[in-house]
Each structure stands twice: as structure tokens, then as C-alpha cells.
Structure 1
Amino acid sequence: MPTTRAAIPPSAPPRPPARGWERYARLVAGRRSKWAVLAIWVVLIAVGGSLAAKIGSVQDNDPQTWLPTNAQSTKAMDVGEKHFADKNVSTAVVVYARESGLTDADLAKVAGDRTALTTKGAAAADVPVPVVADDHKAVFLSVPLRTSKNDNTVLGDGVHDLRDLARENAPSGLDVRITGQAGNIADFIDVYSGMDVALLGATLGLVALLLLITYRSPVLWLIPLVSVALGAQIANGVVYLLAKHAGLLVNGQSAYVLTVLVLGVGTDYALLLVARYREELRRHEDRHEAMTQALIRCLPAITASALTVIAATLCLVFGSMNSTRGLGPVVAIGVAVVSLAMTSLLPALLVILGRWTFWPFVPRYAPDAVASARGGGGLWAKVAHLVGRSPRLLWIGTALVLGALALGAGAIGTGQTQAEQFTKEVDSVGGQRLLAAHFPAGSAAPADVYVPSGGTATALSVLDGVPGVLSATVDRSAAGWTHLDVVLADAPDTRSARRTVQRMRATLDRAPGAAADAVVGGQSAVALDTSDAQGSEEKLLIPLVLGIVLIMLVVLLRALVAPIVLLLSVVLSYAAAVGAAVLVFRALDHPRIDRGLLLFGFLFLVALGIDYTVFLMTRAREEVRRQGHREGMLTALTVTGGVITSAGIVLAATFAVLTVIPTVTSLQQGLLVAIGVLLDTFLVRSLLVPALALDIGPRIWRPGRPEKQPDRTTRVRADHVRGAG
């Protein structure tokens, strides 16, 4: 573990560090310049902290921000906004139900609510007449409500006011629910309201606990925690500025991913740096020189890790979904800021405060001490011994375990409905259930068909013959367009409803005249277009991310064989994570996923999962130059084991915090990444990769030749510790 107290001899790298790394390290850890670094961060924190609190005000959770730009449902929204004054309007459906049958008082209540909504101006337009169920047990009102692109509280407050009005003085026993598009959005707003603060607090608390356990020091854990928290605040401030003044799209998802990812990644970098600094303090009496050497040796790995994540996430700007394109820059900004904080603010604070921060395990200057890297009885020395004894058998066995887990991915189901989006009961889901019980399933959320007026009659005629369409009626006409309400037989955004939308579009495309120019929108159309766009994104972005990661590994390791092996191992790890996660989802009774989870999981598991292998292999390359391939690889595994395992546990735990958000998507995102990180930490990086490297031999570094060929009189002893992390 990174808290080991073994003394470590001075190390002499076989080649001098790059001058750029050394200049930066001496600037950050210098006797005087450390104060300048701290002063700069104090200014940044003073400005960024106040801006970070405003990030909620620039979140845009408008439905169009989640849609593919060129999808037909997006075009339908544009037509509605341009020609029918539907801009900034969302429909709420108020459902009134009584199982014993509606009474006269119930119907009078509904009529009174409709009048009040119209006369008091609470509705954005006229409220249509109530629709009574054939069984006379339920009735609903469709209420257009005002929204605001940049202020979620407008719709949220509108739905709350509507709920208060509908439930006020309601006859006893009358069940009143708010559903529809506006009700669903309002429930999401309620779920995420205040969640930024709660999520930040939960994540910080968990990270603090893990750091306290790792360092076993009442002081040391605070310094990385404060550094990463301040870095996260500044990252939020930068994102706010870009969203406010540069058009960067920020929604609820990207905001909470930013919080969790920045804290997890930042803590990983802190663990790596602090572990190396602890060892350098035993080699150098001057703590400034110790930090300089620690930075010189950690900066390449941290920089490569950060650049890999940044480059991979920036690939998202080529996605089809507006939400996907916005997520990439948000994550990239967060990783860039926090990596800078962990390599400047954190080392400056550690040098300023001195050795005592490690109390009670203060690393003492002991230049003549010798510690054994692989000769001791520590856990990671035993793991290295196991890997070195039967590498081929071990990597084959590990690969088979991962492959078996990957088979679970075959049971995956995509396409969540509205009723499957929350982990707790919410009003919109209860309202949808009431509607389905008493009305045709699609009656409360008809498909929106916009057709040029010259093709209205033809469109009505052909739509009536489409399987799954119950009725098609003219709603209104304006500016050369006609809006048709098309009631589907199935509940909105179900698979059967999406297939009906596909049939409607195909039929209209074949229709003669202007009807062929019709566009089909609405809730089911949005679900269909979103799923199709996510599938297209997977085909484009997954190979692109893999290519970026491969290039970064080639540059870092100056090899071709090793990067390919590492990339294949991470892909196998991702497949195993998906398979294992699907089994967990089914056990939790959330078997279906949103299609976007696959790309989300791939991006973060590949970009973040490669980190630990990068940390291992950069250290292995250093050790191979000193000891030869076999001993260097095993030494690298031994001395990096504790710190990388701690980092993996911290990152998995921070993503697991997403499960506190009561939406199925966030729960599945958190579990998938947490499972994947743990598999990568304990199986891929600890067993599969080092065993493969030993079995392949020095050829893994080709075309480079980092292995030193020592003669027998100058052979470096394999049991000398070269420093961890």
C-alpha cells in the first residue's frame, strides 16, 4: 500500500529527465516559486468558486438539447415552434381518476380547473375540453405550459402550480396526477434539484474516508482532498463561463458527471504523486528536491493519462446527439483543470507544509537504507511471485474469466420507457399508469405530424391505414402547414410505438404530392430518433476513441506491440464490465438500459481504465532499463500495486455515488463504471497485463529496445526497490 514505511535507496535514472518536466517541477516545488504558485491558485479559487455556484443557472434541459440535430423529430419541433407558436411550450396532462366511477362533483372540479387555467393565464394557450374515458372512471386535461430554454424553474414552477390547483378542493377519493411531457420533465427537474450539492457532499465524504484509510494520518488526507475539491470548483467555474458566453451545452447529466469524474480522477493523480513524494523524501533531505524528483517521475504518466482522457472525450463533439456533443468538452475541461491542480497546487501545498503532514508515519531521510521490492512478504510481492511463476496459465485463466463475464452482455435490453426511468415512484409515472388503465395507451401523447397544407387530405388518408394508428385528426393550420394529432395504440416511447412511428414515416414518404414532405414528431418519435442516433454514435465514436487511445499509448511507450496488447485488454475488460453489470441490473429489476449507456460506459472505462495500465507500464519501462524485462516487469507490479489499487477503489467508489440519484440511468452509469474500474484494477492490471508481458517477453516493447543488457559484473540487483507509483 502507499503507506509502506520501508526505506528506499537513492535511485539513478539511466537517462536524464526531459528538460521541460524538470523546469516545471522546479518551478512548482521551488523555495520561492511555490508561494507564487499558491498565490495564483488563491486568485483562481476566489474567482472560480463564486462562478461554480452559478453552473445550475446555465444548465439547459430542454428536450431539444437531448435530440440529434438532423432527426425528423427535431425538425418537427422546429416546424411547431416556427409556425404554430409552440416555442417554449410543453404539454402537461392532468389525470383525474376514481375507481368506483367519476361523480358529478369530480366532473365539476375538472371543468372548474379548466376555466381557472384559462382565466388566470396559468396555461400558455387555450386548454382543450376534457377527455372522459369510456368506462367513466377517469378524465384528463391537456394543459400547455410555458417553458424557458435557460431557466428550468419556469416549467418546474408551472407544473407545481398546476398540481396545487388540480388537488386543491378535490373531492375526497379522487386521484389526481400530472403526467405528459411537462410532467415528466418536471419530475426530472425535481430529482436533480439540489443534487449538485448533495452529490458533491457525498463524493467528498466518501473520498475523505478512503484517503483516511489509505494514509492512516489525521492530517495528510486533507491536503489532496482540499486540492481536488478546489480544482473541481474551478472546473465548474470554467464550464459556467463557456456555457454563458461561448454556447457550451451543459445539462443535468454533464453537470453531475463533471462533479464525480473530476473528484475521482483528481484523487487518483493525488495518490500517485503523494506515494512517489513519500519515497523521494527518504532519498532527499531537502523536501523541495524530493518533490521536484517526484514530479519529474510522475508528470509523464499523469500528463499522458490526462491527455488520453481529454482526447477521448473530445471525440464526442463528432456525435449526433446534442447532449453527447456537449458532454465531451465539459469532461475535457474538468480533467484538464484538475490535472493541473494536482500537479501544481497539491505539490506546492505539500512542500509548504513539510514532512509533518505524514504524521504519524513521517518518512525520514535514509539514503543508505535498502528495501526489498520483491523479497519481502507484502501482498504485492506475493502477487508478483504468482504472476512470475506461471504467466501463460495465469493470463489465459484471467482472459477466460473476463470472457465468461462478457457473455452476460448478450442479455442486454435497450429502450427504457417513461415508466422505467426512475428508481422511485413519481407523479408522471403514476399518471401514465392511470392513463393506460382507462384510455387507449397513446391517447395522452399523440404523435405530432406536420404536413404542408396541400397534402393534408392525403396524409390523413394514408395514416388511417397504418397498423398501430388509432386515429388521425386535424388539430390546427397555420402558415402553409397543418398539424395532425395521431393517436397510437401503444403507450408512448415503447418499442411497439416506435415501430408504429417507423411505419408512419415510411408510408408518408411514399405518399403522393405534398404529403411526402410531412415530418413525424412527438414522444415516441423522439425515443426512436434518439435510439437510432445513439447506434450511429457507437459506430463512429467507439473506433475513433480506440484510435486516439492507441496513438497516445504508442507515443507514451514508444512501442507498437505493447499498445495493441493493452488496448485489447481494455476492450475485453469493457465487455466483461457490461456483462457483469447487466446481471446486476437484472437483479435490481432494471433490466433495460438507455442505449446511450453503452457509449458512456465505453468512453469512461476505456479512457479511465487505461490509466492504471499506463501507470504500471510507464514504471515497467523504467525498471526494464535497469533490471531487464522479467525482473523489471515484476518489480513494477510490486511497487505500483498498492497505490494503483487504492486509486482504482477511490475511482470506483466515486462513480458508485451516482446510484444515489433516483434515476435508472444514473444508477446504471454508476454501477457500470464502478464494476469496470474494479475489474480493470484487480484483474486486468494486476494479473492479465503483467502475465501477458512476461509471456510475450521483451518483444512487447518492439520496435523499441528499452531493456538494458547488463554484464555479469554490473548486473543490478533485482531486490532493490526503485520507488513506487
Structure 2
Amino acid sequence: MDEAGPRSRWRPSWLLAAYAKVIVRLRWLVVLFWAAATAASVLYLPAVGAGGSDLNDLVSTDNPAIQSELRSFEKFGFPLLSRVAVVQRNPEGLPVSTQTEAVARARAVTEGKHPDLKPILAAAPVMNTMGLFPGSKEDSTTVITLLFTAPDVSLADQVEAAEKFVAALYGPDDAVVGVTGSVPARVEQGDLVLSSLPWLETATVVAAFLIIAIAFRSFVAPLLALVVAGTAILLTLHIGGAVALRLGVPVPQETQPLLVALLLGVVTDYVVFYLSGVRAQFAQGAGRLPAAEHATARFTAIIVTAGLTAAAGTGALIVADSPAFRAFGPGMALAVLVGMVVAVTLVPALLAILGPVALWSRRRRSAPDIAEAEAERTGSGRGAWLLTRRWFAPVVVLACVGGLLAAAYPLRHIALGVSFVEALPTSHPARQAADQAEKGFVEGILSPTELMVEGPGVAAKKQQLLALQRALGQQPGVAAVVGPGDDAIPQELALFQAPDGTAARYLLVLTDEALGARAVHTITGLQDRLPGLLRDAGLADTRASLGGDTAIADVIVDQTVSDLGRIAIAALLANLLFLVLYLRALVAPVALVICSVLAIGATLGLTTWLFQDVLGGDGLTFYVPFAVAVLLLALGSDYNIFGVGPAWKEARGRPLPEALAITLPHSARAIRIAAFTLAVSFGLLVLVPLRPFQELAFALSVGILIDAFIVRSLLAPALLTVLGPASAWPSRQLPPEEETPEAEPALADSPPQQPTPVRVVE
């Protein structure tokens, strides 16, 4: 390639050359078009999330646990589960008067004496007084008032009603800690995401600016990158919102930080490669327009292929059964496609307009700068020469593969959960209220599980129901069971026996946090043992179903795991297909995809080790490993094409190791700049103070760095060196390697050529 010196034999095809000429000639029209399109989208199209959707609304109503809850409501006319609770607590003990008032307050609401507090249908106080509630840790320290609404009340309305309930009926002496539960936590998560977005955007922009400014020693280059990325972000958010409303597909608000980070990183990647191309041309004395044309022709095909591959990889999530994944996939694919289209048109146009100004800095000493950059590249060439030697490459392959497999080892005990309350910061009021409730009772008190038994006349089988209740209380992971066998519950309330006698239900409180991996595992085991428990209790002719947050989470996790196969196959095939089409080979694409899989395994292993083993978390958030895997596979394809593409074209006229040694110094440096920017963009997701975003930030940033600095810079070139011309099978586009001594190429032998400074003609 030209950037490697006169030894490069690359020539653009007529189509790429024509495209470059058209874009450069129409540069002002291109800029005006994107400016008008961006302004129109902001003015006339809705933004992502404008419809109020959030990730938590994407749980399918076909979920068996949700269906169980709906049937329970129909049969009993009253929900047994509440996801909103008011916590009162005094570690020294609550006065009897406070506890009595809690009972009276709840009864008044249930009897309809406070119609202004609708949509609350009823309230039920749960106390740890004298061990009346099984499994309580303390005595007379905590009261949890559960608030019940109809199933069709929105999450935000439930939280608003709970806050109104507290403001109207509680005083300063009632020791109210706060409102908590899975519903308030879900609402707060959405608020935290949106409130963190401005800080995230600002920090990401500043970081990207500094990285590119340092890499190119210019203040204009990062401004160009941010203008292009900002255009892509605005277009994506508004086009995505319009498509979502048009098709009726909800786009979760929680995806917006990920979209911003993805677009800033991906578009910056593309800009970096165009900037590298024009910088090399300016160093050789090319003029403004020829330099822009050359860079456009050189990198457009690579960027288009990389963008299509990344979009296909993220879009592969559409094959999932999980509504959450189906919502993530199209949004991510649309973001990559918009970013790619904007980059391959707007960047060349701006470079043609700006010329050398795009790389302007306060230092105008062009010749020393060029010499320094050439010396740096020559030094990198020596490393590339060593990496592509037949005797050294196998050692590099073994070392890299061994290290990646060792990093992936913790994956053997990865666990998945669905966290709402526990995902909040420890300082958040809803989290603090939940912690206080768990201290007085058990960890699973706020999100119990409902077990409903259905069958003709089952409500009258008191002895059998009592036997089942005792058996349930002995199950591992179950702290307490409340049901038909509890004499302390007034029978007139009809909480556990349906009026028509065809159903009975129990309330199960788990020992672990209700949405963590351990609780999900408990429900999985209980689900498997239920038929035997029913048979042993004399209820073999009935059927049982589980409802509640943990049961819903159990179905979600199972669905996620079952989605893994089809998502992995679709994403791998998409990446493999584009690599095969681009390289016109099979062996090399398969080898490169295997390298990507190793990088993903190492990333997820390190993430599991940090968050489960070191930090002691109760499993990773269910969607994090799969979103990370798909994104890393898609983004890794970019670096596959950026790194191997130039070498592959160069290898058509020379041995593959020599081609790699010539092209790697330039492509590897550009990949490292782009990858570092992308890793920082994803790493700044940690500014969203929610545990899933912390997991995403770590996994994506570490994964990008592993992919760029280990897999693409070391493993992939060494592996292709080992494979040699066989990597082009079944085609024969690569010439056979001659049996000649492996001398160091002239690129690293000869001193760098110092180009004569020229005055660039505008």
C-alpha cells in the first residue's frame, strides 16, 4: 500500500476510483445534504425512547409466570403479589402504637376509605413481630406495607401512588425508611439512565477529542471526527425513533447510552482510517484533492465491508425469542449502518474541503514530524517482520491461544440473574429501603414467589394443602411459606382459597435476593420438583404454576440461554459470510472468526472473574454476556478487515508474510488508535450508576483492547503466517512461497526515506 512506501502494489478498482472522484467533486453538496438531513430529522422525527418504552416493558406477556399471575387475579379477584412496598424500620424496635397504626392504615385503604389514593386497591402490612412472619431475622423492628394495584396500572403510576400514600398517611414519627420494590427500582433505573446521558456524552466527546488530538497531533482532526459522529448519532436516534413508531417495535431507553458509545467509537474508527490515509499522502507531497481521492478509494471498500459485517452481526439478535434482544438488535444494526453511510460520504467530503488543515496543529514543522512518523513506522516494521517469521509465528500463536484460554476459564461457573433493586447504587433511597427490609426479614422478602395450585375442589383439601405447605418450607432456598395452613390469616380474607374452590395459592419467600442468580436457581429446582411434591401431598390430579419476579426472571434466563445457540450461529455466519466474500477464501475467514471467539471467551471469563469472584456479585445481568459477545464479534470484524484486508491485497503479488510485514505497521497503528478510542467510549458507560452498565463498560472496553492489541496485532498475523498460502483455500489467489532465506525486508533494513517538504497546492 502507498502508506508503506513505494513497495506497495495496491491499485484501486475503476469503481472505487470513480466513487472517490464523485464524492470529492461534489464535496460541498455532500456536506450540505447531511446538514439538511440532520436538521430535518431533529425537527420532524421523534427520538428513540419518545414513546416511553423501557427495557423492562419488553418482557413478553406469554411468559408463563406472568400468565400464572393473571389467572390468579382472575380467580381470586385480588393480587397476592405486590411489587411496591413502604418500609418502616427502627433497629431498636418499633413502638406498639406504630405497628397498630400500620394495621389500621392498611385496613382503611383496603376498605376504600381513601379513594384519593387510587389506583391503590389494597394495602397489607407485614411485620416481624413475635415471629408471626416465618423466617424473620428480628422481632418488632420492621413493618413492610405492601401496596396492591390492578395489573394494568403503569409502573410510573404505581410509584407515584405509593409516594402519595406515604405523604398522606405517614408522619415524622412513623420511622418510614422509604418506598422500594422491583417496580420503584425499575422506574429509578430508567431515570438514572436518562439523567446520566448528558454526562456520558460529554465525557465521551472529551475523551475522543483528546485521544485523536494526541494521536494525530492536531486539534482539527478530532473536531472533524466529532462532527461526523455527532451527525450519525442525531440521525440514528431520530430515524430509529421514527422506525420504532412506524413498526410498533419498542426501542428501550436503556439502549441510548450504548448507542451513543457505539456510534462515537465506530465512526471514530472510520475517521481514523481516512485520516491515516490522507496523512500518508500529504507526507508524500500529494495535493489536497488527490490525497482525499486516494484515501477514499483506499478505505471506502474496507469501511463498507466492515460496517455491513458489524451491522449483520448485531442485527443477528433479531433471531432471538427474547423481546429484549429483539429490541437491541435492530437498534444496534441501524446505528452501525447510519454511521457507516455518513462516514464514507461526509468524511471524504470534509477532507477534500479541509485538505492539510484537517491535520493542522500549532506545530508547523512538517518535515520533522514526517520523519518522526516514518521512524515510528519503521520501528513497528521490525516488530512486524519478526512476527511474520516462520520460526517465530507458531510461538506467538501458542502463547496467545494459551493466554486467551486461561482468561476464559472462569466462564465455567458463570451465573445469570435479573437485577432491579440490587442494580441501584447503594446510596439510592430505594436500595437503602430494600436493605433495611431485608435486615428485618430475609433477602427475598420484597419479591416473594406465588405458587398457585389449580384443580376441581382443590381449595377444600385442607390436609393435602397443609402437607404441600410443609414440604415447600423444606425446599432448599425457601425461607418461609405463607398459605392455606396459616391460622393467623383470617379466613374471611380469602387470600389463599379461591371463592369457586378451584384454586389455592401460597406465598414463598426465598433466602436470597429475589432476582439474583441464586434465587433463579432455586426456582429452577423447585419447578423441576413440583410434580413430585404435588404427588406426595395427595394432589396429583392438580396442576401448579409459579408467578412473581423470580419466576419471571427464571423464564427470562432460560429463554436467554436457549437463544444463545441461534444468536451465536446467526452472528458467526454473518461475520464469516462477509469475510469470505471480501477475502474470496474460506480458511482465512474461519481462522479469523475462531480468533474472535477466543477473544470473546477471554473477555467474558475476565468479566465473570471480576464481578462474581472478586466483587462477589450474585451472577451477571442476564443480557450482558450476550450483548457483549454479539457486539465484540461484530466490532472485531471491523479490525479483521482493517488489519488483514490491505495485507491480503498486497499478498497477491508477494509472499503473505512479506505482505503482512509491509502493511501491519500502518494498519496496526491505526487499529490501536481506533480501538483505544472505542474502548474508552464503552468504558465510560461506567458513568451510568447501574450494575449492568458497569458490567457492560468493563466487558466491552477490555474486549476491544484484547481484540486489537492481542488478537489483531499478534495472533491473527502469526496464524496467517503459519497457514501461509493455504489460508486462501479454495482459491489460489495467493502465490506459493518460495524456499528462500528469510531476510528482513527492506522496509526495516533501509533507513527511512525523508520526503522533501513541498508546498501543498490547494
Post-superposition shift, 1:40? 1.7
Post-superposition shift, 1:350? 2.1
Partner SS state of residue 613, structure 1: helix
Post-superposition shift, 1:608? 1.0
Post-superposition shift, 1:646? 0.2
Is 1:139 aligned to 2:143, yes or no?
A: yes
2:423 is matched by which residue type in structure 1?
A: Q
Is 1:569 aligned to 2:595, yes or no?
A: yes
> Could you tell me which residue of structure 1 aligns to residue 244 of structure 2?
243
> Could you tell me which residue of structure 2 aligns to residue 197 of structure 1?
198
> Could you tell me which residue of structure 2 aligns to residue 45 of structure 1?
38
Whether the 8 Å CA contact 2:278–2:295 is kept in 1: the answer is yes
Q: How does 1:444-463 map to 2 (within 5 A)?
A: 444-449=446-451, 454=456, 456-457=458-459, 460=465, 463=468
1:280/1:159 Cα in 2 relative to 1: closer, same or farther (>3 Å)?
farther
Is 1:552 aligned to 2:575, yes or no?
A: no
Is 1:127 aligned to 2:122, yes or no?
A: yes
Give 5+ residue unaligned stretches, structure 2.
130-138, 485-493, 754-762
Separation of aligned partners in 1, 2:101 and 2:87: 12
Post-superposition shift, 1:164? 4.6
Post-superposition shift, 1:554? 0.8
Is 1:471 aligned to 2:497, yes or no?
A: no
Give deviations 1:18-54, integer Å, cap 9, x for gaps: 52x3443333221xx2222222211211122346774
Is 1:583 aligned to 2:609, yes or no?
A: yes
> Could you tell me which residue of structure 1 aligns to residue 54 of structure 2?
61
Post-superposition shift, 1:387? 0.7
Post-superposition shift, 1:121? 2.6
Of 350-359 and 109-118, deviating more is 109-118
Q: 2:676 aligns with which of 646, 649, 656?
A: 649
> Could you tell me which residue of structure 1 aligns to residue 28 of structure 2?
35
1:400 is matched by which residue type in structure 2?
A: G
Give deviations 1:155-193, integer Å, cap 9, x for gaps: 554455455557x63217x25222222222233233223
Give deviations 1:605-626, integer Å, cap 9, x for gaps: 1111232121111010122124
Whether the 8 Å CA contact 1:590–1:664 is kept in 2: the answer is no
Q: How does 1:102-181 map to 2 (within 5 A)?
A: 102-107=94-99, 110=102, 114=106, 115=108, 119=114, 121-134=116-129, 135-144=139-148, 153-155=156-158, 157-162=160-165, 164-165=167-168, 169-171=171-173, 174-181=175-182
Q: 1:486 aligns with which of 495, 507, 514?
A: 507
Post-superposition shift, 1:502? 4.7
Post-superposition shift, 1:539? 2.4
Partner SS state of residue 177, structure 1: strand
Of 476-485 and 687-696, deviating more is 476-485
Whether the 8 Å CA contact 1:508–1:516 is kept in 2: the answer is no
Partner SS state of residue 172, structure 2: coil
- Calculate the TM-score normalised by the size of structure 1: 0.86
Give deviations 1:249-269, integer Å, cap 9, x for gaps: 222332222111111111111
Separation of aligned partners in 1, 2:674 and 2:282: 21
Is 1:326 aligned to 2:298, yes or no?
A: no
Separation of aligned partners in 1, 2:395 and 2:363: 41
Q: How does 1:370-519 map to 2 (within 5 A)?
A: 378-389=378-389, 390-415=392-417, 420-439=422-441, 442-449=444-451, 454=456, 456-457=458-459, 460=465, 463-464=468-469, 465-466=471-472, 467=475, 468=478, 470-473=481-484, 474-475=494-495, 484-491=505-512, 492-494=514-516, 495-496=518-519, 498-500=521-523, 502-503=525-526, 507=530, 516=542, 518-519=544-545
Whether the 8 Å CA contact 1:641–1:686 is kept in 2: the answer is yes
Partner SS state of residue 252, structure 1: coil
> Could you tell me which residue of structure 2 aligns to residue 97 of structure 1?
89
Separation of aligned partners in 1, 2:328 and 2:603: 22
Identity of aligned residues (%): 23
Separation of aligned partners in 1, 2:33 and 2:165: 50
Number of aligned pairs?
Answer: 703
Give deviations 1:564-612, integer Å, cap 9, x for gaps: 1111111111122222233333444546312322212211111112321
Of 625-634 and 309-318, deviating more is 625-634
2:584 is matched by which residue type in structure 1?
A: R
Give deviations 1:286-339, integer Å, cap 9, x for gaps: 533332222222122111111111111122112121111110001011111111
Give 5+ residue unaligned stretches, structure 1.
none
> Could you tell me which residue of structure 1 aligns to residue 10 of structure 2?
13
Whether the 8 Å CA contact 2:155–2:183 is kept in 1: the answer is no
Separation of aligned partners in 2, 1:139 and 1:614: 61
1:462/1:109 Cα in 2 relative to 1: closer, same or farther (>3 Å)?
closer
Is 1:620 aligned to 2:620, yes or no?
A: no
> Could you tell me which residue of structure 1 aligns to residue 657 of structure 2?
630
Partner SS state of residue 651, structure 2: helix
Of 564-573 and 347-356, deviating more is 347-356
1:377/1:288 Cα in 2 relative to 1: closer, same or farther (>3 Å)?
closer
Separation of aligned partners in 1, 2:737 and 2:619: 57
Give deviations 1:362-417, integer Å, cap 9, x for gaps: 99999xxx999999774422321331342222222222222222223335343365
Whether the 8 Å CA contact 2:448–2:510 is kept in 1: the answer is no
Cα RMSD for the two superposed structures: 3.8
Separation of aligned partners in 2, 1:357 and 1:111: 72
Post-superposition shift, 1:120? 5.2
Partner SS state of residue 519, structure 1: strand
> Could you tell me which residue of structure 1 aligns to residue 352 of structure 2?
351
1:550 is matched by which residue type in structure 2?
A: L
Partner SS state of residue 402, structure 2: helix
Of 593-602 and 466-475, deviating more is 466-475
Give deviations 1:548-572, integer Å, cap 9, x for gaps: 2111111111011101111111111
Whether the 8 Å CA contact 2:411–2:604 is kept in 1: the answer is yes
Separation of aligned partners in 2, 1:499 and 1:125: 31
> Could you tell me which residue of structure 1 aligns to residue 549 of structure 2?
523
Post-superposition shift, 1:347? 1.8
Of 580-589 and 628-637, deviating more is 580-589
Post-superposition shift, 1:447? 2.3
1:470/1:428 Cα in 2 relative to 1: closer, same or farther (>3 Å)?
same
